[in-house]
Amino acid sequence: MIAHIFADLCNGCQACVSACPTHVLDRAAQGGPPVIARLDQCQTCFMCELYCPQDAIFVGPDQTGPEVIDPSAIKASGLLGQMRRDHIWDAPPGDLAPLSEYWQLGPYLMGGAQIAAERYARRHAQGETK
């Protein structure tokens, strides 16, 4: 769930308020950092991070309940902005880097399933399991 908005990094653009599909955030009255108003609606989808140009918002990994984090530890961890960097979200038009490996999704999905199927067949052939 959304864990923290770093006031010192936030520029008050409210992009995360718009981008959040589940209306967790409210605009700040005076243009400052948005307010986490309905955390129970957060689905831990990381979309707010993707749309934050300042890397000022951090989503914790647990979707089952609110998380207490240490803001300074998060800053030091280098995880702020990780989602945008991994996506190469701000690549210029025509740059094919962001999705250059994406075609491998299908083959690895099937490859993994094949590994599981062969393992299962092998075990049952050997009579290891009932």
Rank residues 8 and 65 by Cβ distance to other proteins and give the closer one: 65
Rank residues 41 and 54 by Cβ distance to other proteins and give the closer one: 41
Q: Is 56 exposed, middle or buried (0-12, 13-18, 19+ CB in 10 A)?
A: buried
Rank residues 8 and 129 by Cβ distance to other proteins and give the closer one: 129
Please, what is the minimum distance in Å from the beta carbon of residue 13 to other proteins?
A: 14
Rank residues 7 and 110 by Cβ distance to other proteins and give the closer one: 110
Please, what is the minimum distance in Å from the beta carbon of residue 83 to other proteins?
A: 6
CB 57 within 8 A of CB 2: yes
Please, what is the minimum distance in Å from the beta carbon of residue 86 to other proteins?
A: 3
Q: Is 127 left (phi over 0), alpha (psi -120 to 50) or beta?
A: left
Residue ranges in contact with other proteins by CB under 8 A: 17-23, 27, 41, 43-47, 50-51, 59-64, 79, 82-83, 86-87, 89, 91, 93-106, 108-113, 115-117, 119-120, 123, 129-130
State the Cα–Cα distance between residues 12 and 16, nearest whole angstrom: 10
Name the residue among 54, 52, 58, 68 with its Cα closest to residue 15.
52
